[in-house]
Amino acid sequence: MSESPVPAVTYFDPQPAPEELPERLANPFAPGLPHPLARRAAEALQERLRAGDLAPGLRLEELDEPGRGKMFGVLAVEAPDGRIGYLCGFSGMLDGRWHIEGFAPPLFDVAARDAFWPAGEAELRALDSLHAELVHGAEPVTLRARLAELTARHGAAAAQLQERHEANRRHRHGARQRLAEGVGEEERQAALHALGQESRADAAERRRLEAAHHEEREGLASALRALDVRRAGLEQHRAERSRQLWQQMAYTYVIPNARGETQPLGVLFAPEPPPGGAGDCAAPKLLAQAYRHRLKPLALAEFWWGAPPLTGERHAGLYYPACRSKCGEVLPYMLQGLLTEPAPPEEAPGKDEALRVVYEDPWLLVVDKPYGLLSVPGRHSPHRDSVLVRLRQRTPEGPEPFIVHPLESDCSGLLLAAKDADTHVALQRQFARQEASKWYAACLEGPVPGDHGAVELPLRANPEDRPRHIVDPVRGKRALTEWRVVRRDGPRTWVALLPLTGLPHQLRVHAAHPLGLGAPIAGDRLYGGSPGPRLLLHAEVLTVLHPHTGEPLHLECPAPF
């Protein structure tokens, strides 16, 4: 491949034949492998990444540090003279730089950014320093240490007083018992009064000590509360300034399209501010560079390189579609005027395949759900094809069916439905108490160490990259999966998976994450599996206790792969 006079373009050598060129640009949000021409360019860039040969003085070691990997991209293009080449790009910054020779530059106007951003960045750093001083500075550290020491001293004094008062109480109890033996009533009443006075004196002494301790601590606690008020106000001010600067920054991003039109990034997301990082992904940079030099985009590929993110949903060398949160408004505008494939649906379409009933009685039924069919219709499309809609159509005059433990549309296999509300509640309770089980068959893209075990990684939805879910030890919900190896065949491993919790995408993330099984499920377009006609995940074995007969119900439906 040879360098082009046009900045940042590398021409293919040998040039591809006309029949090797795509008829139109694939939609960047479509899952699956990129066009072979884009893969050819991506493989060339990956070779340079392996060799560390990107630019003089560029440090790539940081990409191998935990959580520091990055998305790279290539765009195959046709030059005005008809030659075919490609552009290279990366998301965000690389080695602390926005501009690296041979890569697509950022989309913001440098002069407009420099007019306010250095001062704004310095202001944010100053606010961060002040915040650190309020949290970790000498004053709060000293106050907390003094309060801790005072609290410990007060605790010791209170314990000593409590011990003395307890001894006094035991003494008074013994004295009261002795008064019953040969003592006159008048003398007895006087003695009881004296003992009561002693008890009240102890209580008063305890209250005086508590009041004195509270007064001592209150001075320090009040000073700490004042610091907390200042810290909270500073955090609010910092967040507001950051938002203002980002909104201002968004209007320095100039987003072009194939018609020669441009819009500021802020306009594309208005009235809401753009999400952080919008406009900095590889694909928008590459398209803008192509338009800038009158290059015709032919094929796009974006891939991850380096260590996986801490959330675990990216793997080195694998291709990923554009994310909808940051690019969902940007790329559709940039592609206006360019012949592209239509946008893929966000969910897999329902299959025309009929539902096969595996088991049915007066209270419940179990079907074999086809791959690609929803279990229940979407919130905003109640009549969309799904198992629930088909069950309603099956008995239009009957009671409303209830889906128990639904399957994702990408997963096939045994799906349990109840014919009445009481049965539904009873079955749901069994799953919640782990009295019912559903084993899944899965084919993993890679070896798995060991023969059995469990994965426990907390999960939550990723609002910035729906519909993916991520591992989050802080905000994630508990998720536990048992697994065992069924067979190994070359690079693939067949496993049985038992989710002991029922979070969305639990099995897919637990399989793919480096802290889980470290091998994505084959065909998983979201978590790094190789492209294929379907996700190789199937609910194969279902065991429940029948809520009406009390008999165990064990059903099997072998995986079709």
Q: Is residue 169 domain-shared with residue 98, that is, in the same domain?
A: no
Report if residue 117 sits inside a domain.
Answer: no
What pLDDT does residue 188 have? 80
What pLDDT does residue 327 have? 93
d(Cα 555, Cα 543) in Å, to the nearest integer? 6
> Three-state SS string across 253-266, please?
EEEECCCCCEEEHH
What pLDDT does residue 179 have? 75
Q: Are 237 and 229 in contact (CB under 8 A)?
A: no
Q: Is residue 529 domain-shared with residue 464, that is, in the same domain?
A: yes
**Containing structural domain, residue 524:** 356-556
Q: Are 25 and 17 in contact (CB under 8 A)?
A: no
Report if residue 470 sits inside a domain.
Answer: yes
What pLDDT does residue 397 have? 78
Report if residue 426 sits inside a domain.
Answer: yes
Question: What pLDDT tens digit does each residue of the chain (561 aa) get?
Answer: 444 445 679 999 999 999 999 999 999 998 778 999 999 999 999 999 999 888 888 889 889 888 889 999 999 999 999 999 999 999 999 998 999 999 999 999 888 888 888 999 899 999 999 999 998 999 999 998 998 898 888 889 989 999 999 999 898 888 887 776 666 778 888 888 888 898 899 889 989 988 888 888 898 989 999 999 999 999 999 988 988 888 888 999 999 999 999 999 999 988 888 888 899 999 999 999 999 999 999 999 999 999 988 777 788 898 989 988 889 999 999 999 999 988 655 555 445 677 899 999 999 999 999 998 999 987 655 557 899 999 998 888 778 899 998 999 899 999 999 999 999 999 999 999 999 999 999 999 999 999 999 999 999 998 777 788 999 888 899 999 999 999 999 999 999 999 999 899 999 999 999 899 999 999 988 887 677 789 999 999 999 999 999 999 999 999 999
Q: Is residue 323 domain-shared with residue 464, that is, in the same domain?
A: no
Q: Is residue 135 domain-shared with residue 277, that is, in the same domain?
A: no
Report if residue 120 sits inside a domain.
Answer: no
Final residue belonging to a domain, choices 270, 300, 334: 334
Report if residue 459 sits inside a domain.
Answer: yes
What pLDDT does residue 379 have? 65
What pLDDT does residue 276 have? 82
Report if residue 181 sits inside a domain.
Answer: yes
Q: Is residue 233 domain-shared with residue 313, that is, in the same domain?
A: no
d(Cα 263, Cα 243) in Å, to the nearest integer? 20
- Rg of the chain's alpha carbons, rounded to an integer? 34
DSSP states of 93-156 as a string? -BTTBS--TTSPPPSB-HHHHHTTHHHHHHHHHHHHHHHHHHHHSHHHHHHHHHHHHHHHHHHH
Q: Is residue 363 domain-shared with residue 490, that is, in the same domain?
A: yes
Cα-Cα end-to-end distance for the chain? 41
Report if residue 201 sits inside a domain.
Answer: yes
Q: Is residue 95 domain-shared with residue 31, that is, in the same domain?
A: yes
d(Cα 86, Cα 1) in Å, to the nearest integer? 10
Q: Is residue 65 domain-shared with residue 195, that is, in the same domain?
A: no
* 93's tokens: 């910054």
Number of domains comprising the chain: 3
Q: Is residue 509 domain-shared with residue 391, that is, in the same domain?
A: yes
Strand partners, 452: 484
Helix (H/G/I), strand (E/B), else coil: 416: strand
Give the burial string for 220-249 (b: 16+ CB within 10 Å, else e).
beebbeebeeebeebeeebeeeeeebbebb
Q: Could you give the C-alpha distances from 285 to 50, 105, 289, 331, in angstroms and in order? A: 23, 6, 6, 10
Report if residue 158 sits inside a domain.
Answer: yes
Final residue belonging to a domain, choices 191, 221, 248: 248
Q: Is residue 243 domain-shared with residue 264, that is, in the same domain?
A: no
Given the structure tokens 């008829």, which residue do they identify?
A: 23
Strand partners, 489: 492
Final residue belonging to a domain, choices 301, 334, 367: 334
Beta strand 262-264 with 402-404: parallel, antiparallel or unpaired?
Answer: unpaired
Q: Is residue 202 domain-shared with residue 268, that is, in the same domain?
A: no
Q: Is residue 34 domain-shared with residue 135, that is, in the same domain?
A: no
For residue 137, give every residue at least 6 positions away whose Cβ sits within 8 Å of its Cβ, in sequence order, or none.
none
For residue 265, give every residue at least 6 positions away whose Cβ sits within 8 Å of its Cβ, in sequence order, or none.
107, 250, 251, 253, 255, 274, 278, 279, 330
CATH number, domain of 450, equals 3.30.2350.10
